[in-house]
Structure 1
Amino acid sequence: MRISEFKNGKAEARYRTAYERALTRLLPDDRTTHDVPTGYGTTRAYQLGPATGQPIVLLPGSGGNALMWHAYLAPLAERHPVLAVDTVGEPGASVQSAPVKDGRDAADWLEELLAALDVTGAHLVGCSYGGWIALHHRLRHPGRTARLTLVDSAGLADLAKGFYRWIILGGLAALAPRPLRPSLARKLGNSAILDEELMSLLRASTGFRRRLPLATTLTDEDLRSLSTPTLALLGERSALHDAAGTAERLHRLAPGVTVRTVPGAGHSLTTDAPQDVLEAILTPLPHRAG
C-alpha cells in the first residue's frame, strides 16, 4: 500500500508556506510543539493549557489538521491540558512513513503518540474521521482513555448516499469568489467554507495525495462493547449519515452512549454550532448505571 504524500516538491513547498502562515495566525503563541516518531511516521501535536487535569485530545476530520480546532483551543485550555493533533496521513505537519491500512492501524498510531507523550485518562474528541479513529482506539486500547466525544463521527452508521457529492461541492465552493461563499454555504449546509484561513489551507493542499483507509461502519458487536463514557453529537442535517437513524442505532446497541442531536446543524458541526460543541466537550456526562 502507498502512503499519503505531496505529488512533488513544489506542491509541498506551497502547502508548507500556507500552513506556517495559518499556524501563526490561528494558534496561541504559548503552545508547545511536539514532533513524535511513530511506526507510521512523525506526528505533529500542539500542547496548550495547564500541566495538570484531564487532557483533551483533539482529532480532526478528513483532509484537516489541528488548525481546524483553532476557535476551541483557548476556551478549552483555560480548564484542561489540550493536545491538538495533525493526523498522520492528512495534510498538515505530520509526515507519514508507513501505510495505515485500517482502523486497527489508525488506533495503533494514536496509541503510540499518546504513550510517547505520557497521556493517560484522556478525553478523546474526534470530528468525523477523527471520531472513527477515536472509536477504534477505544476498542483496541481501552485503558488509555476515560471519555469520548464524537462530533458527527464517521463509523456510527452507513454513509448517506449524497455524502461524497457534498464533499465535492464543498471543495468547489471553497474555490468560489469570496462574495459568493455565504450563499453557497447556506445552500450546501456547509459553514466550514466561510472560515477563510482554513479554506486557504484547503486550497493549498490540492497537491496532496491522501491515502488513508475509508471509515467503515462499526459492527453491532463493536458498538455494544463501548463502555467508556461517550457522547455522540450529531448534526440534525448531517450529510454524512441519517441523524435519526444513527441515533436509533446507538440507543438500541449502545445504551450507555449519550446521544445529542443539534437542531439545524449539518456535518460541519464545529463551525455550524461551535458553542454547542464546546459545551458538549466541557460538560460532564450523566452517570449511567452498568
Structure 2
Amino acid sequence: MRISEFTDGTAEARFRTAYEHALSRLWPGPRTALDVPTRFGTTRVQRTGPAHGRPVVLLPGSGGNALMWHAYVERLAEHHPVIAVDTVGEPGASVQTAPIGDGDDAADWLEELLAALDVPAAHVVGCSYGGWIALRHQIRHPGRTTGLTLVDPAGLADVGRRFYAWIILGGLAALAPRALRPRLARAVGNSAVLETELMTLMRASTGFRRRLPPATTLDDVELGRLSTPALFLLGERSALHDARAVSERLHRLVPTARVEVVPGAGHALPTDDPAAVLAGILSMQTAQGS
C-alpha cells in the first residue's frame, strides 16, 4: 500500500506556502502548533483556548485540514481547550510515513494522537470523512471519547453517483471567477466554494496524491456498539446520503443518540448553516458538564 504524498518538491513547496498564508489570514487569535509522532506519521495540530478542561477535538473532512474550522475556533475556545487536527494523509501540515489501510488503522491513528497529547477524555467533532474516523475510533477504542458531534458524517450509507457528481461540480465551481461563485454555489449546493482562502489552498493542493481508505459503511452491529453520547447533524439536502433514511436508521440502531436534520442544508453543512453546527457542538459540550 502507498501513502499520501506530494508529487514532487515543487508541488509541496507551493502548498506549504499557501497553507501558511491561509493560516495567517484565517486563524483567529493565539495558537500553539504541535507536531505529534504516531506510527503512521507526524500529525500537526493547532491548540488554543484554556489550558485545562475537556478538549474539543476537530477533525476535517476529506481533502481538508484544521483550517476548515477557522470560523468556529474563536467561539469554541472561549471556554474549552480546542485541538484542531490536520489528519495524516490529507493535504495539510501533517506528514504520512506509513499506510493507513482501513478504518481500524484510521481509528488507531486517532487513538495514538490523543494518547500522545495526554487527552484522556475528549469531545470529538468530525465532519464527513472526519466523522467516519471519529465513529470508527469510538467503536474500536471506547472510553477515550466522552462525546461525539458528527457533522454529516460518512459511513452511514453507501455512497452513490450523486455524491461524486457533487464533488466534481463543486470543484469546477471553485475554479470559476470569484464573481460567478455565489451563483454557482447555489446551483451545485456547495457553499464551501465561497471560502476564498480555502479554495486557493485547495487549488494549491493539486500536486497532492491522497491515498486513504474509503469511508466504508458501518454495519448494524458496528453502529449498535456506539457507547458514548452522540449528536448526528445531517444536512437535509446532503448529496452524501438520504438524510431521512439515515436518520431513521440511527434512531433504530442507536436510540440514545440525538439526530437532527438541518433544514435546507447540504453536505457542506459547516458553511451552509454554521449557527446550527456551532449550537450543536456547544450543546454536546455542555451536556458533558465541561
Query: Could you say whether these structures have the same fold, taking a TM-score greater than 0.5 normalized by the shorter chain as the test?
Result: yes
Superposed CA deviations along residues 230-255 of structure 1, whole A, max 9, x for unmatched, are 00000000010000110011011111
Conserved in 2, the CA contact under 8 Å of 1:48 and 1:81? yes
1:209 aligns with 2:209: yes
Instruction: Tell me, in whole angstroms, the C-alpha distance in 1 between the residues paired with 2:180 and 2:165.
Output: 19
2:50 paired residue number: 50
Q: Indicate if the aligned counterparts of 2:44 and 2:86 stay in contact, CA closer than 8 A.
A: yes
AA aligned opposite 1:221: V
Of stretches 20-29 and 37-46 in structure 1, the one that deviates more from structure 2 is 20-29
Please show how residues 120-139 of structure 1 align to structure 2 within 5 Å: 120-139=120-139
The answer as to 2:152 corresponding to 1:152 is yes
Q: Deviations over 1:191-225 (max 9, x none)?
A: 00000010000010011000000000001001111
Give distance in 1, aligned partners of 2:196 and 2:157: 31
SS for the counterpart of 2:161 is coil
| Residue in 2 that maps onto 1:190 | 190
Which secondary structure state, in structure 1, belongs to the residue aligned with residue 133 of structure 2? Answer: helix
Q: 1:184 is aligned with what amino acid?
A: L
* SS in structure 1 of the partner of residue 247 of structure 2: helix
TM normalised by structure 1 equals 0.97
Instruction: Look up the SS of the partner of 1:124 in the other structure.
Output: strand
The root-mean-square deviation of aligned C-alpha atoms, in Å, is 1.1
Q: How many residues align?
A: 287
2:79 counterpart residue number: 79
Cα distance in 1 for residues equivalent to 2:242 and 2:229: 23
Counterpart Cα distance in 2 of 1:235 and 1:259: 11
> Does residue 101 of structure 1 match 2:104?
no
Output the amino acid matched with 2:187: K
The question of whether the paired residues in 1 share the 8 Å contact of 2:123 and 2:285 is answered with no
- CA deviation vs aligned residue, 1:94-150 (integer Å, no higher than 9, x gap): 000000000100010011110001012100000000000000100111111100000
What code does the residue aligned with 2:272 have? D
Residue deviations 1:242-278 (CA, integer Å, cap 9, x gap): 0011001101111111100000000000000001000
The yes-or-no answer on 1:251 pairing with 2:251 is yes
Q: Which has the larger displacement, 107-116 or 160-169? A: 160-169
Structure-2 residue corresponding to 1:91: 91
Query: Where does structure 1 lack aligned partners over 5 or more consecutive residues?
Result: none
> After the TM superposition, which residues 24-43 of structure 1 pair with which residues of structure 2 at under 5 Å, given as runs?
24-43=24-43
* Number of the residue aligned with 2:62: 62
Indicate whether 1:226 and 2:229 are aligned: no
**CA–CA distance in structure 1, aligned partners of residues 107 and 78 of structure 2:** 28
- Distance between the aligned counterparts of 1:193 and 1:29, measured in 2? 24
Equivalent residue letter for 1:60:
P
Secondary structure of 2:258's match?
strand
Look up the SS of the partner of 1:283 in the other structure: helix
- The CA distance in 1 between the partners of 2:114 and 2:213, in whole Å, is 21
Question: What is the CA distance between 1:29 and its match in structure 2?
Answer: 4.1
Provide the identity percentage.
Answer: 71
Contact 1:43–1:113 (CA under 8 A) maintained in structure 2: yes
Q: What is the CA-CA distance between 1:161 and the residue it aligns to?
A: 3.0
Q: For 1:17 and 1:253, locate their aligned partners in 2 and report how far apart those are by CA, in whole Å.
A: 45
Inter-partner Cα distance in structure 1 for 2:286 and 2:181: 39
TM-score (norm 2): 0.97
Contact 1:235 1:261 in 2 (8 A): yes
